[in-house]
Amino acid sequence: MNILCEELSITYPIIQGGMGNVSNAPLTGAISQAGALGTLGAGTMAPDKLESLILDVKKITDKPFCINIPITVQPYLKEVVQLVEKHSIPVVSLSAGNPARLAKHFKDQGVKVICVVASVRQAQKAEQAGADVIVGEGYEAAGINSNFETTTLTLIPQLVKAVSVPVAAAGGIGDGGGLAAMLSLGAHGVQMGTRFIATEEALVHKDYKRLIVEATDTDTVVVGRTVGRIRRLLNTEYAKKLAEKEKSGVTAEEFGELTNEDRHISGAIQGNLADGHLNSGQIAGIVDDLPPVSELIRRMMGEAEEAAKGLSSKLGL
């Protein structure tokens, strides 16, 4: 059995990225029900809202799902940890901060721990802290990104050599061919965000989905380099506004205000494209439909199998 699937008690080696404001209950529940690992992104969410989402997911599926906790971003960290324990959440993913203390705490509670990293050193430290799974995220990915700007293609084989726990690849994966490619690099599975936004169950604004489907290979942009807060966005008018602000000398505080949670909700959920941003990975360029989650996952597994057969043929095996 795939070691990642065995570790997380799932059928298919696919993890939903912990997308704050976007990882709603219908999407998370559908992903887990389909045999992958659905994830609720705690983001900056208040405990009562997160608990409501947890209960809603449990109405949809009795299969394992995950809570993503961005450590330095979540203002109610203690309460979120308590919710994981109260509702017997089997898996957590830790990002945006040092996972050491929380990883040990969750391990002591019997919770499986995923740590999201962007470098070999981060992965090694996460493994030392007790991570059961490492997610290596390349800068092709959507939203907040690492200043290292290391690509998934180069990051994953280095992580696989550096740690002994299963590695999942994130950033630039949106179909079965991408899954097969990451498996060939030594990963045991993948984590996806952008591709899951473009599904029937994602409760984002219809224009967000439309723009992902219409996107080409050059329709995302990186902003925030000048203030050390890198984000990959769809290249909307609002993203162009952010780029112009950087050219004119925006401060880190001003940039933070322009890309805060309210701005994200305004763009992604409410569809105010002139007033808020839309996170998107580079993989948006291959997305051309809005399938149900279950269909997408089945299709990906079939595509991965065909890709593996094709590789064997190309190698003359």
- Shortest CA distance to 158 belongs to which of 132, 124, 130, 190? 124
> C-alpha angle 67/19/114, rounded to 5°?
40
Q: How far is CA 209 from the centre of its chain?
A: 17
Measured CA to CA, the distance from residue 160 to residue 158 in angstroms comes to: 5
pTM: 0.95
Q: What is the DSSP letter of 226?
A: G
Q: How far is CA 178 from the centre of its chain?
A: 15
- Shortest CA distance to 211 belongs to which of 192, 236, 193? 236
- pLDDT at 16 (0 to 100): 98
Q: Where are the alpha helices (DSSP H) in the chain?
A: 3-8, 25-33, 47-60, 77-86, 100-108, 120-129, 152-162, 176-184, 194-197, 206-214, 237-247, 252-258, 261-264, 293-314
Residue 315 pLDDT greater than 90, yes or no:
no
The model's pLDDT over 236-255, given as tens digits with 9 standing for 90+, comes to 999 999 999 999 999 999 99
Cβ distance 221 to 246 under 8 Å?
no
Region 43-60 average pLDDT: 95
Mean pLDDT of the chain: 95
| Strands 14-16 and 133-137, bridge-based pairing | unpaired
Region 82-90 average pLDDT: 97
The model's pLDDT over 64-75, given as tens digits with 9 standing for 90+, comes to 999 999 998 899
The model's pLDDT over 184-210, given as tens digits with 9 standing for 90+, comes to 999 999 999 999 999 999 999 999 999
